[in-house]
Amino acid sequence: MSLIKKVFVYGVVLGVIALLFYGARLYAENSRREQSKAQEAAPPGGDARNAEAVKICRVFPVPLTDVLKLPGTVEAFDDIDLATRIPGTVEWVGPREGDRIAKGQRLLQLDVAGAQAQAARARTAHELAQIKLKRLGELRQNNIIAPEMYDNAEADLKTCKAALDEAEVNLRYGTLLSPIDGVLERRYADPGEHVDAGKSVMRIVHIDKVKVMLNVPEKDVLHFQRGQAADLVFDNGQPHAFKGAIDWIAMAADPATRTYSMKILVDNPDHLLRPGMIVDARLVRRRIAQAVVVPFFTIIDREDGKAVYVVERGVARERPIDYGIFQGGTVEITRGLKAGDQLIVVGQRNLVDGQPVQVAQDVTEQARQFMTNGGDLSKLILDLNH
C-alpha cells in the first residue's frame, strides 16, 4: 500500500473516532440538562416521579364541647304506699288504678260507727266536765268548797278534753286522704275487706316530674355541680329529648363501683318517662373555645404512641401527637399539631417519614363549611376516600 493510501485510511479512522467522541459528549450534555430540568421540577426533598398523591386539610381551630354520656334509670318523683292508721272494715273506695289524684282527695273510707260512738261519749263527758267546773268555780269564789275540789274538777276537764281529742282523731283516721298529687298505681283493698293499722292499702306515684339516677365515675364527678343543665334522650324506636337539671350529687362513692350517685330532675308533663325506663344522659364536662380536632382514622399507630402525617416542603412528615376528647368521629389533638399545618387526610396509611408526596386536593374550605353546618368532619373525609 502506498504512503498516500495509508495516510488516507488513517485520516478516515481518526475522523470517525472524533465524530464518535463528539456524539458521546453531546449525548452526555443533553442527559445532564434533562436531569437538571427534572430536579428543578421535583419538590424539595424527593423525586416527583415517585411522589404519592394525597389529600390534605389545613388545620383550623374549632369550638369543642366535652360531653359525658351515661345511662340513667327513671324513678318517680314521689312513690308512696298509703296505709290506714286504725284497723277497720273498708266501707268505700273511690279512685281506680290509673286515675289521677289531687292532694287532699278522699280515697278510702273505713266503717267508723264505733269511732263515732266513742267520739260522742267523749264529747258528752267533756261537756259535763265543763259544766261541773263552772259550778265549782262559783262556789269557790264564795269560799263554800275547798280549793282541792275545784282543782280535781279542773283536772277531770283536761282528761275529758284529751279523750275527746283522741276520739275525734280516730274518727278522722277512718278517712284516707291523698297527701300528694299523682296517679293511683295500685289498690290493695276493696269494700268489705278488713284492714289492719299500718297495712298498705294504696300506692300513689307522682311522675309529672321524675328523677333520673346516674352513676358518675370518680374521674368525672368534679366537673359537675348542682343546678347544671342536662340533656336526656329516651329512644323507643323514636328518640324523645328532655331537659333536666342536676339536683344532687353524692359526697361519698359507692365502695363497690367507685362511682358517685347523681340525681337529675326532669319535667314530664306528658308522662312519656315512666319509672324503670333507661335513658341516655348527656352532661357537659367542659367547653373549649379553640380546639384542634382531626378525624380519628387519620391517626397512625406507632410502637411508641400515636402520630399523624403532615406535608412539609413536598414530603410527608410524621408528627407524634397526644390526644384528648373523642367526639363523634373526631379527636382533639392536645400536642403535635397547630393551626395551619397541612394534615394528610387521605393516603396517609402507606407513607413513611420523608417520602415525597403530591397534593392532589386541598379540602380545607370544604371542611370549614361542613363543620360550620354542624357536620362531623370524619364523615366528610370518609366520603373523599370513596
Sketch the domain layout of the chain as residue ranges.
Answer: 48-61+292-385, 69-75+207-286, 84-201
Q: What is the pLDDT of residues 256-267, one digit of tens each?
A: 999 999 999 999
Quote the CATH superfamily of domain 84-201.
Answer: Helix hairpin bin (1.10.287.470)
* CA gap 157, 87 in Å, rounded: 29
Q: Which CATH number fits domain 69-75+207-286: 1.10.1450.10, 3.40.50.11810, 2.60.40.10, 2.40.30.170?
A: 2.40.30.170
Q: What is the pLDDT of residues 54-90, one digit of tens each?
A: 999 999 999 998 999 999 999 999 999 999 999 999 9
Q: Kindly state the DSSP code that residue 297 receives in the 8-state scheme.
A: G
* Average confidence (pLDDT) over 216-235: 96
CA 343 vs. chain centroid, Å, equals 32
Give helix then strand counts, H and E, for the chain.
Answer: 5, 20
Q: CA quadruple 21, 27, 31, 32: dihedral positive or negative?
A: positive
CATH 2.40.420.20 fits 48-61+292-385, yes or no: yes
Which residues, other chains included, contact 107 with Cβ-Cβ below 8 Å and sequence gap of 6+? 82, 93, 94, 95, 101, 176, 177, 178, 184, 202
Radius of gyration, alpha carbons of the chain: 46
First to last CA, the chain: 81
Q: CA quadruple 112, 118, 122, 123: dihedral positive or negative?
A: positive
Confidence of residue 370 (pLDDT cuts 50, 70, 90): confident
* pLDDT at 334 exceeding the cut of 70: yes
